[in-house]
A and B are shown apart, each in its own frame.
Chain A
């Protein structure tokens, strides 16, 4: 098998800037699909808006390209209507954490059985490098030239607190782990959230003078530490599987509602 069963080779190279992490992430997702041997018509890739919102263009699976922040809301309808589908919501940090933050925490609370992937490059790249909810205090951006006076979300901690079954954070540097977490997330049978730290050299890197894409990947690698070695109060972010717990998935819980209402009797 090959990732090109899932990625449309004719569309390559991607339209993203050189040094962007998005291409690495969609390759990892295709790798995960491939290793799980999923059929194209069993998968629905749901996207929002932004640079990463275009990622469905490259997939040969079912695709649902929606509105800014709404990928998870659309994915909710798809999954509940047909729980047999593998539903993957692909979002950037603006998509997932800002305009779509409400859908994110509520899908986690419901434990909807989808994989939600957030490509976190800490800014709005598509619109010119504005600060996002994952930009750090003091960050420069096209809308924070004097330094950002806001603090950032710890997205993985947020989603874990909201009730997700599976939460993992990694970086585009840790490719094999990324594929592993995506596979685990898809197979979790509950709300799975994978946060991927990645560089945006064109915008975030430029405004914060972080050097080349390669320099940025090294910085991202140096900013994280495996969760097994992470201690509270550390100035580094933990990576790895941050949360894994078994709870009833939402569509299965709704099956019980149908059962109690007598809705399976006529089938």
Chain B
């Protein structure tokens, strides 16, 4: 059955398909519909919704529930995300699966509560002190939003990390038709559970890419989870060797798996001399701009990033092969553009198309930049 739903509703559908049974949240525009729908839908299937006293408590409650074995999610926007960051660090350190939806709006500060922005790309990656990797996904259609929400849960469960689903005000509120039944057979990943017998160590690992199996509070084992740097028992440790192993594993379990985690959509053509790279809402305009530019005879590649973090370095390099200029439209002052420059080095001219006035970038604006670059 096809349904005409908004991006925020798509997040709800994707979460329920993935097995979400706990939502802790706090109202904030433009994400509030996610909380509204889940407060109705979760108790219908025996799940739990709680509206906490702030965003700090929202993510904290989610992490506590996840440690009881539930699949959990919270949803917010920039100002709330800023408050959640200390708990993002906790989820990284204690290795607790959780999904954080960031329906981005214009910043800084309270900024543009009801208008679009894409300025949180670096905040989700670097916002928590210490600088440890997370996973962030960025859909640009409603069907992708359903799928990426399921993927967010799958990746959180597989790697025991917080996973960000980054939409924005326009995707959150625009509607497209989606065939929800097409997701019926979608693969669902559940966290590895520790075997009932033998000694249980909550952070048992031998290799730097290992993800320890979990055991829920109230289950067969006694479980320790800790925000303090800990050994395999979950006990604080001053031992530099154990600290190195723990911190290295937090890094490598994600970065070394970038090839498995990263997703993108490439539309490449022979002889292309330019490339448009974008994500989320801006990728829709980028895609249309490339269609029109090609119709007027230009040779342009297109790359839509679906996994913002880990950044899809190989996909960028591949799409930029033989290209001498890369146009990066985004609703901020050039965050993904900085990453593209890092990956491609100084030989390629990275051209920014930035907008922070609360409106989206139109295809014409990107075509103009492509034309100007071709003429120069």
Q: Within 8 Å of chain A (Cβ to Cβ): is B220?
A: yes
List the B residue with the shortest CB-CB distance to A44.
B217
Q: Give the contacting residue for B45; candidates A49, A75, A266; CB below 8 A.
A: A266
Residues facing B in A26-76 (CB within 8 A) are 40-42, 44, 46, 49, 54, 56-57, 60-67, 70, 73-76
Q: Cα distance A41–B196 when bound, in Å?
A: 13
Q: B residues engaging A (CB < 8 A)? A: 22, 24, 40, 42-48, 50, 52-54, 56-57, 60-70, 72, 86-87, 90, 216-228, 234-236
Q: Indicate if the CB atoms of A103 and B68 lie closer than 8 Å.
A: no
Q: A67-B90, A263-B45 are in contact. Are A81 and B70 (CB under 8 A)?
A: yes
Q: Indicate if the CB atoms of B217 and A73 lie closer than 8 Å.
A: no
Q: A residues engaging B (CB < 8 A)? A: 40-42, 44, 46, 49, 54, 56-57, 60-67, 70, 73-82, 84-85, 102-103, 106, 254, 257-258, 260-264, 266-267
Output the least CB separation between A60 and chain B (Å). 7
Q: Cα distance A123–B60 when bound, in Å?
A: 25
Output the least CB separation between B136 and chain A (Å). 22
Q: Indicate if the CB atoms of A103 and B53 lie closer than 8 Å.
A: yes
Q: Cα distance A62–B220 when bound, in Å?
A: 11
Show 11 residue pairs from A and B whose CB-CB distance is below 8 angstroms, ordered by the A residue: A65-B225, A67-B227, A73-B60, A77-B62, A77-B64, A77-B67, A78-B65, A79-B64, A80-B50, A85-B218, A254-B50
Q: Cα distance A79–B22 when bound, in Å?
A: 12
Q: Indicate if the CB atoms of A73 and B225 lie closer than 8 Å.
A: no
Q: Indicate if the CB atoms of B225 and A263 lie closer than 8 Å.
A: no
List the A residue with the shortest CB-CB distance to B43.
A261
Interfacial chain A residues near B227, Cβ < 8 Å = 49, 65-67
Q: A103-B53, A106-B57, A267-B46 are in contact. Are A64 and B64 (CB under 8 A)?
A: yes
Q: Indicate if the CB atoms of A81 and B22 lie closer than 8 Å.
A: yes
Q: A44-B217, A70-B87 are in contact. Are A263 and B43 (CB under 8 A)?
A: yes
List the B residue with the shortest CB-CB distance to A76.
B61
The 3 closest A-B pairs by CB, nearest first: A77-B64, A77-B61, A73-B60
Output the least CB separation between A59 and chain B (Å). 9
Q: Cα distance A84–B43 when bound, in Å?
A: 18
Q: Indicate if the CB atoms of A74 and B53 lie closer than 8 Å.
A: no
Interfacial chain B residues near A42, Cβ < 8 Å = 218
Output the least CB separation between A97 and chain B (Å). 15
Q: Cα distance A115–B47 when bound, in Å?
A: 24
List the A residue with the shortest CB-CB distance to B235.
A57
Q: Indicate if the CB atoms of B65 and A77 lie closer than 8 Å.
A: yes
List the A residue with the shortest CB-CB distance to B219.
A41
Interfacial chain B residues near A66, Cβ < 8 Å = 60, 90, 227
Known: A65-B224, A74-B60; 15 extra A-B contacts, CB below 8 A, are A41-B219, A63-B226, A65-B236, A66-B90, A70-B57, A70-B60, A73-B60, A74-B64, A76-B64, A77-B22, A80-B61, A81-B69, A258-B46, A263-B47, A266-B46
Output the least CB separation between A174 and chain B (Å). 31
Interfacial chain A residues near B62, Cβ < 8 Å = 77
Q: Give the contacting residue for B64; candidates A60, A65, A78; CB below 8 A.
A: A78
Q: Indicate if the CB atoms of B50 and A76 lie closer than 8 Å.
A: yes
Q: Indicate if the CB atoms of B52 and A73 lie closer than 8 Å.
A: yes
Q: Cα distance A60–B64 when bound, in Å?
A: 19
Q: Indicate if the CB atoms of B45 and A80 lie closer than 8 Å.
A: no
